[in-house]
Structure 1
């Protein structure tokens, strides 16, 4: 059986530990020959890398494991490159959230003004990274789940129009599916969803039982009304995520036709989200005070002990497992169904063909085959066309170095929706992102 070479870009991420453990748990389904972590932040990656050395020595000794800050060493001979880049790191994420909130605008890493600030940084770094990958690994599959995925996907579509081995993915729709399985008391693998939208802006129209064909969405609506909605891994989540999932009940009370993605709350209730946010302690601060400290404390504990001890368990990591399952579908031409970000080309019949939409696809060795959902109704179409227009204008701004296009993108965005506010927040974010954004003139 072929063994695969994998690189994780963003090796110092707090999510990398979940991947390392998942590669051990899934080594029979996805056998690895070589795993390389790559990060420009050597100090941050070193902790995760040293943890990995101990983990694999004890649990997966045949694996060739290393970590590096050199692109050639990272990418050469790779079969898959997993992209989890965070341009600007968590300190810049905090600014993306704090600055809009200081103006009574939604402060969120992927939505609204903060999401667009992050988007421009990510586009700069992602395009550079993919060019480097193609220099050293022309045939590698690039599995991108760096945020904000919709903006990154639009830029990569334009920069690499003929490259069919770049796949843009987000784990949030699958997290919602898994959370539905918790509510239904079944395995998430038994659920077969129908979904449409943009990244972080979509809806489930059906949730079929894979074994019987029954549509479980009516039952889910009833259960959510009676019991609320929790993430599948609620016990491991920070408080803000519990509130995020809790909003699903509110959204379904107001818009009961479909089951929403959790991020839809920002587009449906922006004033409420601002009013209930702490401008001095956003989700970025929560991550730095919570998950980041927990992950690096675990790394240090294992490194100091020189052994894993009880730091390896069978608790699944939904985020990592989903990405590995995507790689497996490609590697073994399984034609499994996954929710992916792809060029529309009629998947949503009444949206423009070059929109990067998020729909269920069959995925195999030749890439994704989107499953069409037909026309969508005016309410959802209006929300999506507004958002995709904002995202396309922002990518125009990147390519044209155009302040005007950036202003149009910010003005059109539903979470700003005012030209004076758009100009003010754009100017503040430009100042904070000097050297990380393209120069806008």
Structure 2
């Protein structure tokens, strides 16, 4: 296969060098000939592109890096398009993480009221980009890393786009479990199930070889020998994890310890402010013409291991890997979780190759998890309806349906605040 053309929408993100590092190191898996960085922030775009070229050069990678502020131009003839945009930037994120706290609710950019605000701003923009991709190359894959990934991916797939969602939670668990076990990460396979940012590891299989289909179940061993470290990493009580016998994602804290998390956030301040300070330092580092590797500070920005997951996913989808791989992705349910509608987007292991994405069958889900998944899926359906069609009533309905809210007066107050803080991003408000 000839060298590929990839485009990154949101290419001026301070996170982009993490992707570049992965593309450079894993060039045998994913042969890139041209990488296009697309972003309206022209000044930052050139800064990131210059660093990308230096990282490629250091690794002996001969791909060209180009930039544009025009999406239509940038995605022309692209084999795959990665979406990592943030409508409204860190300033909007800061609001998402702040005003819900005024009502005693979690302030977070991917769930609750803040997550809904981000979805309302993001879905119309992403769908416009996707239409441009489809017009430029209807065979191109769209890989969405833009939060809230589940809602955004559902919007893309419902509109008929060739899209799949990707999150770094699963690969993060894989890497951490592999470290605890002292094995290569490719030998660790997860029984990962749920929705984006609402998942549980119900099992961990240690394979004899990376291509093996069976292996040894080691989750009980992990919980016995490394439970304290796992619990500390998730900021969840060890006895709860031991009693459940599963490893919840970090995001389950917002549901399992909602009031405690609200107090912590009220005392600590927003993550957005912390990220903004990190980004300022990163941009200063990126401006150094001698820098030709991703700086260590980038690890504090978030999104660890996403580059490895993205490379493997794209390589499988575009056929450069020449294998059928098993990867955790966000994709259409189609009966895999029978208590959800077919068009719901779930996050589960799937076989991936040049013919597409096929989620693996799941054993029956315990009511403790199925109930919460069903509830959040209903919210996501209403959230997408609000993002597509607008209207205060639709926003209110989505908030009322969210299991972290669910009260009339609370949903009403949150609706008013959401609209007040996002009016200039919503063409219907």
Same topology, TM > 0.5: yes
Separation in 1, partners of 2:394, 2:14: 34
1:369 corresponds, among 351, 355, 358, to 358
Q: Does 1:277 align with 2:250?
A: no
Q: Which residue of 2 aligns with 1:293?
A: 280
Aligned pair in 2 of structure 1 residues 119, 311: CA closer, same or farther (>3 Å)?
Answer: closer
Aligned pair in 2 of structure 1 residues 391, 63: CA closer, same or farther (>3 Å)?
Answer: same
Aligned pair in 2 of structure 1 residues 331, 154: CA closer, same or farther (>3 Å)?
Answer: closer
Aligned pair in 2 of structure 1 residues 338, 251: CA closer, same or farther (>3 Å)?
Answer: farther
Count of residues in Structure 1 that have an aligned counterpart in Structure 2: 418
Separation in 2, partners of 1:104, 1:435: 25
Q: Which residue of 2 aligns with 1:239?
A: none
Shift of residue 438, structure 1, vs aligned partner: 4.6
Q: How does the TM-score come out when normalised to structure 2?
A: 0.91
What is the 5 A alignment of 1:249-398? Answer: 249=238, 251-253=240-242, 255-278=243-266, 281-290=269-278, 292-301=279-288, 303=289, 305=290, 308=292, 318-332=305-319, 333-398=322-387
Q: How does the TM-score come out when normalised to structure 1?
A: 0.89
What is the 5 A alignment of 1:128-167? Answer: 128-160=128-160, 163=161, 165-167=162-164
Q: After the TM superposition, which of the residue ranges 363-372 and 174-183 deviates more from structure 2?
A: 174-183
Q: Does 1:17 align with 2:17?
A: yes
Separation in 1, partners of 2:192, 2:49: 37
Q: Is the partner of 1:278 in helix, strand or coil?
A: helix
Question: Which segments of 5 or more consecutive residues in structure 2 lack a partner in the other structure?
Answer: 209-213
Separation in 2, partners of 1:18, 1:279: 31
Separation in 1, partners of 2:106, 2:52: 37
Q: Is the partner of 1:8 in helix, strand or coil?
A: strand
Aligned pair in 2 of structure 1 residues 69, 60: CA closer, same or farther (>3 Å)?
Answer: farther
Q: Is the partner of 2:201 in helix, strand or coil?
A: strand
Contact 2:198/2:373 (8 A) holds in 1: yes
Q: Does 1:47 align with 2:47?
A: yes
What is the 5 A alignment of 1:228-267? Answer: 228-229=230-231, 245-247=234-236, 249=238, 251-253=240-242, 255-267=243-255
Q: Which residue of 1 aligns with 2:211?
A: none
Shift of residue 101, structure 1, vs aligned partner: 1.2
Q: Is the partner of 2:349 in helix, strand or coil?
A: strand
Separation in 1, partners of 2:57, 2:356: 34
Contact 2:158/2:343 (8 A) holds in 1: no
What is the 5 A alignment of 1:62-77? Answer: 62-77=62-77
Q: Which residue of 2 aligns with 1:181?
A: 178
Separation in 1, partners of 2:44, 2:426: 23
2:398 corresponds, among 391, 398, 409, to 409
Which deviations, in whole Å up to 9, do the C-alpha atoms of 1:151-179 show, x marking residues without a partner?
Answer: 1122222222xx3x211111112212211
Contact 1:349/1:374 (8 A) holds in 2: no
Shift of residue 294, structure 1, vs aligned partner: 3.6
Which deviations, in whole Å up to 9, do the C-alpha atoms of 1:212-254 show, x marking residues without a partner?
Answer: 7110110111134343456xxxxxxxxxxx5xx333746514x
Contact 1:341/1:359 (8 A) holds in 2: yes
Q: After the TM superposition, which of the residue ranges 74-83 and 60-69 deviates more from structure 2?
A: 60-69
Which deviations, in whole Å up to 9, do the C-alpha atoms of 1:352-387 show, x marking residues without a partner?
Answer: 322211111000011111111132122211101110
Aligned pair in 2 of structure 1 residues 36, 379: CA closer, same or farther (>3 Å)?
Answer: same
Which deviations, in whole Å up to 9, do the C-alpha atoms of 1:40-93 show, x marking residues without a partner?
Answer: 121222221122233334444632211110123211111111111111111100
Contact 2:24/2:61 (8 A) holds in 1: no
Question: Which segments of 5 or more consecutive residues in structure 1 lack a partner in the other structure?
Answer: 231-241
Aligned pair in 2 of structure 1 residues 348, 268: CA closer, same or farther (>3 Å)?
Answer: same
Separation in 2, partners of 1:118, 1:357: 19
Separation in 2, partners of 1:149, 1:38: 20
Q: Is the partner of 1:340 in helix, strand or coil?
A: strand
Shift of residue 419, structure 1, vs aligned partner: 1.5
Q: Is the partner of 2:266 in helix, strand or coil?
A: coil
Shift of residue 393, structure 1, vs aligned partner: 0.7
